[in-house]
Chain A
Amino acid sequence: MKLFSTQIIVPVDSNSVLQGALEVKHVLEEMIGKYNLGSQVSVVETGALGIYDQGVVLAVFPDDVYYGNVMPSDVEEIVTEHLLKGRVVSRLTIDRSLSSKRLVEKESGKSQQKIVLRNAGLIDPQSIDEYIARDGYGALAKALAMQPGEVIQVLTDSKLQGRGGAGFPTGLKWGMVAKEQSDEKYIVCNADEGEPGTFKDRLILEGDPHSIVEAMAIAGYATGAHVGIVYVRGEYFMSIARLKKAIKDATEYGLLGKDILGTGFQFDIEVYRGGGAYVCGEEFALLESIENKRGTPRNKPPFPPQQGLFGKPTVVNNVETFANVPPILLNGSDWFKSFGTPSSAGTKVFSLSGDIVNRGIVEAPLGITLRELIYDFGGGVKGGKHIGFIQTGGSAGTVLTDKFLDVPLDFASMKTNSVSIGSGVILVASEDVPLLPFLAEVAHFFWHESCGKCTPCREGTLQVKTIMDSLVNRTADPASLQRLGKLLTTLNDTSFCGLGQAAPLAFESALRNFPEVFDQALAESHVPEVCQEEV
Chain B
Amino acid sequence: MELDNVMRPAGQAQPLSDEDKRFLRELVETNRTEHHGRLSYMDIMFELEHHYGNSLPGPVLGEVARLLGTSPAQLNGFVTFYTMLSTEPRGRHVVRVCTSGPCHVTGAPSIVAELKQLLGVELGETTSDGMFTLEASSCLGICGVSPALMIDDDAYGNLTPEDLPRILDAKRAGGAQ
User: Which residues of A approach B to under 8 Å, CB–CB?
Assistant: 14-15, 18-19, 52-53, 193-199, 201-202, 233-237, 268, 270, 272-278, 289-290, 292-295, 351, 353-355, 359-361, 391, 395, 427-429, 433, 437-438, 441-442, 444-445, 448-449, 451
Contacts and interface: CB of A to CB of B under 8 A. Distances in A.
B141 A445 contact: no
A277 B144 contact: no
13 contacts: A270-B36, A273-B43, A274-B82, A275-B82, A276-B85, A292-B39, A395-B101, A427-B105, A429-B105, A438-B101, A441-B100, A444-B99, A445-B138
A275 B106 contact: no
A197 B46 contact: no
A270 B145 CA distance: 30
- Best-surrounded residue of B42, B101, B109, B139 (most CB of chain A within 10 A): B101
Interface of B: 34-36, 38-43, 45-46, 70, 77-78, 81-85, 96, 99-102, 104-106, 109, 137-146, 148, 150, 153, 155-158
B73 to A, nearest CB: 12
A193 B141 CA distance: 7
Contacts, number: 152
B139 A196 contact: yes
A444 B104 CA distance: 12
Given A202-B141, A275-B82, A293-B78, A438 B146 contact: no
Contact of A234 (B84, B100, B144): B84
Given A196-B102, A273-B43, A427-B105, A359 B139 contact: no
Per CB-CB distance, the 3 closest pairs between chain A and chain B, nearest first, are A275-B82, A196-B100, A52-B144
B143 A276 contact: no
A355 B145 contact: no
B150 A441 contact: no
A197 B155 contact: no
Given A18-B155, A295-B82, A433-B105, A441 B99 contact: yes
- Best-surrounded residue of A197, A201, A270 (most CB of chain B within 10 A): A197
A433 B106 CA distance: 9
Contact of A18 (B38, B45, B158): B158
Nearest to A399: B101
Given A276-B138, A444-B99, 9 more contacts: A196-B139, A197-B100, A289-B42, A292-B39, A292-B78, A351-B143, A353-B106, A441-B101, A445-B100
Nearest to B78: A294
A235 B42 contact: no
A391 B101 CA distance: 9
A276 B82 contact: yes
Nearest to A270: B35
A130 to B, nearest CB: 24
Contacts of A442: 101
A276 B139 contact: no
B82 A14 contact: no
Contacts of B150: 235
A468 to B, nearest CB: 13
Contacts of A429: 105
Nearest to A295: B81
A275 B143 contact: no
B82 A196 contact: no
Contact of B141 (A199, A272, A441, A448): A199
Contacts of A289: 42
Contact of B42 (A275, A361, A391): A275
Nearest to B68: A292
A274 B42 contact: yes
Contacts of A277: 81-83
A448 B137 CA distance: 10
A278 B96 CA distance: 15
B106 A354 contact: yes
A193 B36 CA distance: 26
B149 to A, nearest CB: 11
Given A427-B101, A441-B99, A268 B36 contact: yes
A14 B81 contact: no
Contacts of A359: 143-146
Contacts of A195: 139
Nearest to B140: A235
Contacts of A351: 143-144
A275 B143 CA distance: 19
Contacts of A278: 138
